[in-house]
Amino acid sequence: MSTTTAGGSGTAARGARPRRRTARTRARIDDVWTYLGLLAVLLFFGIPLLWMVSLAFRNQQEILVTTINPVPDHPTLDNFGQVLRSAQFPRFLLNSAILSAIGACGAIAVAAPAAYAFSRMRFRGRPVLLVGVLALQMVSPLVLAFPLYRYFASLGLLNSLPATGLVYIAILMPLATWMLKGFFDGIPRDLDDAAMIDGATRWVAFRRIVLPIAMPGLTAVFVITALLAWAEFVVPFILLTSPAHLPISVGILNLQGTYATNSTGILAAGSVIAVLPAIVLFVVLQRFIVGAFVSGALKG
């Protein structure tokens, strides 16, 4: 308190105009600090990614060079070629795409009607069920996977992508339900009431009116669940065992095991390819995701 008063009286003594200028100068100085902060964050988060990309374009000799040169002298695409020509890697990518699609679409199909019911209907047990859905989110897939492994084994469903996809749907649906409920809450009830007065059933009102309006929300939920599915590890790690059925999130571990350390370039190239779909999808649709978080926080 005392220091600020002293500083304030000092500037006041010099008159109004200099004070405005010092305020502006101070803002400029803060801008410099903000830029320095941005730079530090960029370096910490960006350098490991950049290093991976850099290694992916190097040949054997340049990987073993100890000096730090982010741009290799003789950039090569060999590593990418080797990864993509390997028998397993393209299969991993395809499996990831299948599982992500099943997981995201399925989670929305299961969650959307439930979210609509939570948003529009008042019934007994609603608060308990809502908290229950949230509680599902807290249950680790690791806990579920042990008994599921036993059952899938006895039913012959280990290494089945559709069966594993069902588990993906199950672990993604709590989040999807909560997010979609938030989006449906934002759509005026009058719209579906009007449709129902016109003779439409609730189901038709939901499909023809609410869902189309909630499209941005559905997109956000699709992107987030698909990304989570792309990165899901425990469930496929336990329920899928043969290399032909693994998604990339598990398969890269095989890649790490198969190649010796001197082929780090291949591993890096595989990592770049594995992460590219997620990052592209994400950067393109970033607006939706940040928007979903912001709208969620505003409501909370």
Partner 1 sequence: MAAPTLDTTRSRQGAIARPHPPGSRRRAPDHLAWLAPLLAMATLFFLWPLINVIRLAFTNSTLLRDDYSYTLSTFGQALTDPSLPGVLVTTVIFVGASVAGQLVLGLLIALIIQRAISRKLRGAVLVRSVVLSAWVMPGILIGVIWQIVLNEGPFGLVNSALASVGLAPVSWLSDTKLAVLSVVVANIWRGTAFTMLLLYAALLTVNPDLYDAAKVDGARKLRTLWHVTLPQIRPVLLVNTVLITIATLNTFDMVLALTGGGPAQATEVLALHTYNAVFVNFNLAGGCVLALFLLLASLLLTAFYSRVLPEEQR
Residues 82-141 that bind partner 1 (CB under 8 A): 109-111, 113-114, 116-117, 121, 123, 126, 129, 131-136, 138-141
Does 278 bind partner 1 (CB under 8 A)? Our answer is: yes
Does 12 bind partner 1 (CB under 8 A)? Our answer is: no
In a 13 Å sphere around the CA of 272, the CA atoms on its Cβ side amount to 22
Decide: 102 and 162 in contact? Cβ < 8 Å: yes
In a 13 Å sphere around the CA of 67, the CA atoms on its Cβ side amount to 4
Does 146 bind partner 1 (CB under 8 A)? Our answer is: yes
Nearest Cα to Cα of residue 239 among 172, 145, 174: 145
Selected from 25, 35, 186, 189, the binder of partner 1 by CB under 8 A is 35
Does 296 bind partner 1 (CB under 8 A)? Our answer is: yes
- Residue closer to partner 1, measured from CB, 221 or 268: 268
Does 9 bind partner 1 (CB under 8 A)? Our answer is: no
Place of tokens 């912001």: 294
**Encoding tokens for residue 222?**
């699709």
Decide: 299 and 179 in contact? Cβ < 8 Å: no
Q: Smallest distance, Å, CB 26 to partner 1?
A: 11
**Encoding tokens for residue 132?**
């229950």
Q: Smallest distance, Å, CB 185 to partner 1?
A: 15
The stretch among 9-17, 83-91, 178-186, 200-208 that binds partner 1 (CB under 8 A) is 200-208
Amino acid at 89: F
Does 167 bind partner 1 (CB under 8 A)? Our answer is: yes
Does 267 bind partner 1 (CB under 8 A)? Our answer is: yes
- Burial (0-12, 13-18, 19+ Cβ within 10 Å), 128: exposed
Does 4 bind partner 1 (CB under 8 A)? Our answer is: yes
Q: Smallest distance, Å, CB 244 to partner 1?
A: 18
Interface mask toward partner 1 for 218-257; x: CB under 8 A: ---------x--xxxxx--xx---------xxx-xx--x-
Selected from 10, 18, 20, 27, the binder of partner 1 by CB under 8 A is 27
DSSP state of 122: -
Selected from 95, 164, 225, 271, the binder of partner 1 by CB under 8 A is 271
Does 18 bind partner 1 (CB under 8 A)? Our answer is: no
- Residue closer to partner 1, measured from CB, 85 or 122: 122
Does 155 bind partner 1 (CB under 8 A)? Our answer is: no
- Residue closer to partner 1, measured from CB, 213 or 295: 295
- 39 Cβ contact list (under 8 Å, min separation 6): none
How many other CB atoms are found less than 10 A from the CB of residue 163?
A: 17
Does 29 bind partner 1 (CB under 8 A)? Our answer is: no
* Residue 134 Ramachandran class (φ > 0 left, ψ -120 to 50 alpha, else beta): alpha
Q: Give the integer Cα–Cα distance in Å for 46 and 260.
A: 26
Q: Give the integer Cα–Cα distance in Å for 96 and 109.
A: 20
